[in-house]
């Protein structure tokens, strides 16, 4: 009799639904989709150098969602261009340091005044080459500041759908131009 109880308990445990990996609150604020990634050192629960199925939030920001959905202006070259511009903004940080950064590597990080100036010059050149200031402003607000697309393009249209379409077109246009200039 004890054996049958153990067997039924074991069957019930296997039949029970697995615990959801994402809380209901987090699930309603994201777009979680399965993906396969390489687990190089076994940190994700797999063996070393194995493929692991994970859930990835594809709705981290507006631009991430647009890049995931793809389409004109949001292919691989434009993604590289956006990453390039984001790295330039990251170099800027909150501005040049007033004191030497003795803890960082030489020529890298926040203490790198030459890198700061080069990033500032490159971003200024992109802004000038785009030519239309509000297009660059929309690109910067959506990509850098993660402003909602409708808010970023609120001056261009009267309803939300058109505002979002204009913002997406501006971001795609700027990313395409930078991708072409950089040869991505």
Cα–Cα distance for residue pair 3/25, rounded to 1 Å: 41
Same domain, 111 and 43: no
Q: In Å, what is the CA distance from 129 to each residue of 124, 125, 139, 174?
A: 9, 6, 14, 10
Nearest CA to 139 among 105, 178, 104? 178
pLDDT of 115 reads 82
Nearest CA to 56 among 43, 46, 65? 65
pLDDT of 107 reads 46
Same domain, 86 and 22: no
Cα–Cα distance for residue pair 21/167, rounded to 1 Å: 34
pLDDT of 142 reads 92
Q: In Å, what is the CA distance from 63 to each residue of 36, 74, 82, 114?
A: 22, 9, 9, 29
Same domain, 75 and 49: no
Same domain, 49 and 117: no
pLDDT of 122 reads 93
pLDDT of 46 reads 62
Same domain, 66 and 147: yes
Its pTM surpasses 0.85: no
pLDDT of 138 reads 93
**Positions of the chain with pLDDT under 50:** 15-17, 105-110
Residue ranges making up the domain that contains 44: 18-57
For the purposes of burial, counting CB atoms within 10 Å of the CB of 149, is it exposed (0-12), middle (13-18) or buried (19 or more)? buried
Same domain, 29 and 112: no
In a domain, 2, yes or no: no
Taking the alpha carbons of 113, 117, 118, 122 in that order, is the dihedral positive or negative? positive
Same domain, 68 and 129: yes
Phi, psi of 180 (to 5 degrees): -70, -45
């Amino acid at each position: 009799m004890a054996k049958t109880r153990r067997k039924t308990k074991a069957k019930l445990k296997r039949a029970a639904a697995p615990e959801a990996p994402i809380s209901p609150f987090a699930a309603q604020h994201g777009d979680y989709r399965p993906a396969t990634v390489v687990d190089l050192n076994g940190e994700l629960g797999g063996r070393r150098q194995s493929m692991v199925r994970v859930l990835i939030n594809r709705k981290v920001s507006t631009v991430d969602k647009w890049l995931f959905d793809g389409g004109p202006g949001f292919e691989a070259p434009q993604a590289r261009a956006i990453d390039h511009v984001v790295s330039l903004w990251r170099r800027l940080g909150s501005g040049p340091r007033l004191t030497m950064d003795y803890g960082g590597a030489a020529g890298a990080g926040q203490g790198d005044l030459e890198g700061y100036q080069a990033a500032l010059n490159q971003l200024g050149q992109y802004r000038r080459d785009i030519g239309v200031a509000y297009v660059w402003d929309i690109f910067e607000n959506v990509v850098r500041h993660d402003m909602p697309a409708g808010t970023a393009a609120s001056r261009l249209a009267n309803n939300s759908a058109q505002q979002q379409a204009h913002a997406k077109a501006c971001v795609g246009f700027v990313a395409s131009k930078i991708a072409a200039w950089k040869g991505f």
